[in-house]
Every structure is written in structure tokens, then in C-alpha cells.
Amino acid sequence: MAHWLFKSEPDVFSWEMLLAKGKTGEEWSGIRNYQARNNMRAMKLGDKGFFYYSNQGKAIVGIVEVCKLAHRDSTSHVDSWDCVDIRAASGLPKPVSLETIKTDRRLADMVLVKNSRLSVQPVTSEEWEIVCALGGVKA
């Protein structure tokens, strides 16, 4: 199973809002970046991802699950933009801050550190396990 990271600004779309969407989840629309889109196209049902707060919060606060494969982004007027749907899987007992990630040498190669602007990122299984451990959940 592949692992991912989804960024969201908490005042735009928060973890609580995703939780409120329940099992149906949320269409992760509005992504207008080819790399991010290609990452979503590569996702499989059941793939897990981190839910990261950018700008405000700057921490991984939860774990999400891909619940619908990539499809046409309903908010796009052109057919070049696709997105998946995601739903909340579990919250992190201990949110893992960007500061923590940056100071952990094992996480120095995370895309979040190397290319912080990419809004949908791949996460290696090693990174996944380390962050899960830091966050107080089983990988």
C-alpha cells in the first residue's frame, strides 16, 4: 500500500470538517498542480495518507483513507483535473508538528521538507512508520 500526504489550511477545510463527512468523505477538489494530480491518479482504494495543516497549525493531525479513485474534479471546467475522495480514518493522539519533522534526521528527505509547496505528496513507508510512532498511532 502506498502512503500520501494531503495539505489543507485549517480555516479553509479542517480535520473536524472531514470527520463530519463520515464514511462518504470529501472530494479533494481544487488541486491545480500536475504533480499533485498525478499523485492522486496513482492512488488506490484504501491507501492511507496524512492530513497536514499548512499555514496555520503546521502539523500532521490525522490519518485519512482514499475512498474513491481519481475522477474528474467536479469544480473544474476543463477535463484535465482529476481528484480522489478521502475520508477520516483516525486522528493523531499527538499531532506531529513541522518543527518535529524538520528536527528529526530520519525525516530529512520527506517531501514536506524538500518541497513544501506540493499539496499532495507521496510518503515512504519508512517515513509513514516514523510519523505514526511520533503521533502515537500504530502504522
State the minimum distance, in angstroms, from the CB of residue 74 to DNA. Answer: 18
Alpha-carbon distances of 4 from 75, 76, 77, 78, 126, rounded to whole Å: 22, 23, 26, 25, 12
Q: By CB under 7 A, is residue 9 in contact with DNA? A: yes
Contact stretch for DNA (CB under 7 A) within 20-28, 67-75, 79-87, 108-116? 108-116
State the minimum distance, in angstroms, from the CB of residue 138 to DNA. Answer: 26
Q: By CB under 7 A, is residue 118 in contact with DNA? A: yes
Q: What is the DSSP string of 70-129?
A: EEE-TT-SSTT-EEEEEEEEEEEEEEEEHHHHHH-GGGTT-HHHH-TT-SEEEE-HHHHH
State the minimum distance, in angstroms, from the CB of residue 45 to DNA. Answer: 25
Can you say whether the dihedral through the CA atoms of 62, 68, 72, 74 is positive or negative?
A: negative
The cell numbers describing 88, all together, are 477520516
Q: By CB under 7 A, is residue 134 in contact with DNA? A: no
Q: By CB under 7 A, is residue 7 in contact with DNA? A: yes
Q: Which is nearer to DNA, 89 or 101 (CB)?
A: 101
Q: By CB under 7 A, is residue 34 in contact with DNA? A: yes
Sites of contact with DNA (CB under 7 A): 7, 9, 33-35, 54-55, 58, 98-99, 102, 112, 114-119
